[in-house]
Structure 1
Amino acid sequence: MATHLSQDDLTFTKRVGHTVSFSCGGTGQCGSYAVTWYQKKETDTFRPILYITSGGSTSKPFNHPQENDFVAERNQDNCELKINLVKLDHSASYYCSCRKSGSHSEK
Structure 2
Amino acid sequence: MSFKFEKLIIWQNAMDFGEKINSMSQNFPKSEIYNLTSQINRAVDSIALNISEGSIEQSNPEFRRFLGYSIRSLAEVVTCLHKAKRRNYIDTTIFESYYLESYNLMNMMIAFRNKLN
Looking at CA atoms only, which structure, 1 or 2, has the larger radius of gyration?
2
TM range (shorter): under 0.3
Calculate the TM-score normalised by the size of structure 1: 0.28
Name which structure has the greater RCO, CA cutoff 8 Å, separation 6+: 1
Calculate the TM-score normalised by the size of structure 2: 0.26
Whichever structure has more strand as a proportion of its residues is: 1
Whichever structure has more helix as a proportion of its residues is: 2
